[in-house]
Amino acid sequence: MGPVINDFSIQVATVNGSGSQTANGILLRAIFQMGIPVSGKNLFPSNIAGLPTWFTIRVSRHGYLARRSASEILVVMNPETAAEDVAAIGPGGVIVVNDQIRTPPIPGDRFVYHVPMAKLLEPITTDVRLRKLVINMIYVGVLAELLGIAEDEVERALDAQLAKKPIALALNHRAVRAGWEWAKSNLEKRDPFRLERMDATARSILIEGNTAAALGAMFGGVTVVTWYPITPSSSLIESLGGFLEQHRRDPRTGEASYAMIQAEDEISGIGMVLGAGWAGARAMTSTSGPGISLMAEFAGYGYFAEIPAVIWDVQRIGPSTGLPTRTSQGDLAFVHGLSHGDTKHPVLLPASVADCYAFAMKAFDLAERLQTPVFVLSDLDLGMNVWMSEPFAYPEEPWDRGKVLGEEELAKLRKFERYRDVDGDGIPYRTLPGTKDAKGVYFTRGSGHDEAARYTERPADYVATMDRLARKLETARTLVPPPAIEQDESAEVGLIAFGSTRWAMIEARDQLRAAGIPTGYLLLKALPFTAHLAAFVGRHRRVYVVEQNRDGQMADLVRRELPGEAAKIRSITHYTGLPVDARSVTDAVLAMEGAPAQPPLAQGAAR
């Protein structure tokens, strides 16, 4: 077997709360600094300490960042899951074991390296608590030697991560070195896996989607942020809080140009956002599925009263304790129609960290332009995992505050009616409380209002309101981010995806092309659909909608949008709670296209 260079996955099986996250982060970054495309997936439990956690690092010279269903290299650090972890490594795979952990017998066609981790730690620290944390650095050193991670890159990654903690830094350096030197003098390299420097990451950044969203919100000019803690959304707000604290306070007086409020629940969270939006602030909240459920009534209120609001849903699996640390795209249909009555909300669908950044700004512009709640549907995979990306660009456009009448504009008007469709686009004009001109005053309430915001239960008034709101949604089609389309003139098969599913799609399309099936591709970026959808579907003989939920929610929406094309639409779903992998998509398409399934590219059982 020849060498396998820059194309494999490493799985570290450990226990949460053990400090392995620092070690894994250093591995990831050191490989990234070698110029090799890399991605990391953290599979963690909803727990503070003591339960199994897996971190998977994928290196791909092709630049594929999606999760793979199998890994070639395993680091065994958790006795509880050792048997299961070892069984998942196929022939030819590598198993690095802390020698104090017992594993079942391992077949001879795996490469096993037993590392005396505890013994190596003895000269480093006598503190039992510190040993527990620092032991992870031993496998960093061992893997570095084994795979050929450049020494200076590990040192740099370590320095960067722990620069502010000199004592911890020194300790970690020694532990890495101990693993390294032990491996150098004791391990006989027998496996084929190697890392070699490339030049594919020089300008790139590494960032989590939630951090990217936080940056976008700050540069988008957010002024009111509310939240209630919930995984996997909390880190969005916490990093936003950090950025705002640093960049949006007057350094002299400490005065803040923003309010950040931890609400008592998500109902209150969205209520505060609606109050602030009504009063003219750029307001947002972020939550996950259970919080979205609580926001349902207010979401409808915002829709009917026409109040801007931005709501992030970093999707997980719920309700209750559900699988709160597993990813999903299961909130799509619920969020799009959230609330009772005839409601429909614009929904933005970021597919990358760059989208998270850009849509965090765009969502405010849309919410204020359309005077309605706008939802941004991220997910745990996008939000909480680390992604490589091009650096983000500074916004060159000013913000769009929408149709807000100031004193001067009001003074020129003979009369003001809050809900009149003056421009024919379904979007009325609004005024803000505090407006001096008495003709700008209005009273806000739910759906029972006429054009002048007076209470009414007249059928004709209600119908007029509903029809105008429908017109407004038509206008939204022209304002939301358009899909990204990749044409292939020879393709009879079209693929549609959204959100974090994108990463598996890139790879699946290459696999399908290799199997003789070229595909066209449309990556949806928003609801309502834009005109691109009909054209794309019309161009293909068959269209697969790929998504991470059980029932094919997006496929349903596409069929409803294009009833004449419904027979063409097929659904491919993935709902294990783990990010979708390319092979699952490829195999599903091949099976439905009647082509023989290819032998699996990766060996080993799927986790």
Partner 1 sequence: MSDPTGARNRAGLTRADYDGAKTTLCPGCGHNAITGGIIQAAFEAGLEPSKVAKLSGIGCSSKTPAYFLGRSHGFNAVHGRMPSIATGVSVANRELLLIGVSGDGDTASIGLGQFCHLVRRNVPVVYIVENNGVYGLTKGQFSATADVGSTQKSGRVNELMPVDLCAIAIELGCGFVARSFSGDQKQLRPLLKAAFAHRGTAVLDVISPCVTFADHEGSTRSYAAVKEHDAPLHEIDFVPYFEDTSVDYEPGTTREVEMPDGSSIYLKKLAADYDPTSREHALRAIHEARAERKLITGLLYVEPDLPPFEQELNLVETPLAHLTLEQVRPPRRVLEEIMEELRTGRAPGGVS
Nearer of residues 267 and 413 to partner 1, judged by Cβ: 267
In angstroms, how far apart are the furthest CA atoms of the chain?
A: 88
Nearer of residues 109 and 255 to partner 1, judged by Cβ: 255
Q: Interface mask (CB under 8 A) for partner 1, residues 20-39, using x and -?
A: ---------x---x------
Of the candidate residues 277, 318, 346, 373, the single one contacting partner 1 (CB under 8 A): 277
Copy the structure tokens of residue 315.
């999707």
Q: Interface mask (CB under 8 A) for partner 1, residues 164-203, using x and -?
A: x--------------------------------------x
Of 383-422, which residues contact partner 1 (CB under 8 A)?
391-392, 394-395, 398-399
**Is residue 224 within the footprint of partner 1 (CB under 8 A)?**
yes
Minimum gap (Å) between residue 559 Cβ and partner 1: 33
Q: Which stretch binds partner 1 (CB under 8 A): 142-150, 188-196, 281-289, 516-524?
A: 281-289
Minimum gap (Å) between residue 490 Cβ and partner 1: 39
Copy the structure tokens of residue 548.
């991470």
Of 505-564, which residues contact partner 1 (CB under 8 A)?
none
Nearer of residues 432 and 463 to partner 1, judged by Cβ: 432
Q: Which stretch binds partner 1 (CB under 8 A): 1-9, 190-198, 235-243, 511-519?
A: 235-243
Cβ-Cβ contacts under 8 Å for 424 (sequence gap 6 or more): none
Minimum gap (Å) between residue 437 Cβ and partner 1: 8
Single-letter residue type at 306:
E
Cα–Cα distance between 515 and 590 in angstroms, integer? 8
Cα–Cα distance between 8 and 142 in angstroms, integer? 17
Minimum gap (Å) between residue 507 Cβ and partner 1: 25
Element (H, E) at 245: helix 234-247
Cα–Cα distance between 382 and 354 in angstroms, integer? 11
Environment class of 44 (CB within 10 Å of its CB; exposed 0-12, middle 13-18, buried 19+): buried
Q: Are 540 and 495 in contact (CB under 8 A)?
A: no
3-state secondary structure 501-549: HHHHHHHHHHHHHHCCCCEEEEEECEECCCCHHHHHHHHCCEEEEEECC
Minimum gap (Å) between residue 85 Cβ and partner 1: 28
Of 299-328, which residues contact partner 1 (CB under 8 A)?
301
DSSP secondary structure of 18-43:
SSHHHHHHHHHHHHHHTT--EEEEEE
Of 243-262, which residues contact partner 1 (CB under 8 A)?
243, 246-250, 254-261
Minimum gap (Å) between residue 362 Cβ and partner 1: 14
Nearer of residues 65 and 283 to partner 1, judged by Cβ: 283
Nearer of residues 422 and 441 to partner 1, judged by Cβ: 441
Q: Which residues pair with 227 in a beta bridge?
A: 262, 286
For residues 353-381, b (16+ Cβ closer than 10 Å) or e, as one string?
A: bbbbbbbbbbbbbbbbbbbbbbbbbbbbb
Element (H, E) at 207: strand 205-208
Of 44-83, which residues contact partner 1 (CB under 8 A)?
none
**3-state secondary structure at position 322:** coil
Q: Interface mask (CB under 8 A) for partner 1, residues 423-462, using x and -?
A: --------xxxxxx-x--xxxxxx--------x-------
Q: Which residues pair with 98 in a beta bridge?
A: 115
Nearer of residues 72 and 266 to partner 1, judged by Cβ: 266
Of 92-151, which residues contact partner 1 (CB under 8 A)?
none
Single-letter residue type at 123:
P
# residues near partner 1 by CB under 8 A = 87
Minimum gap (Å) between residue 499 Cβ and partner 1: 22
Of the candidate residues 18, 125, 161, 231, the single one contacting partner 1 (CB under 8 A): 161
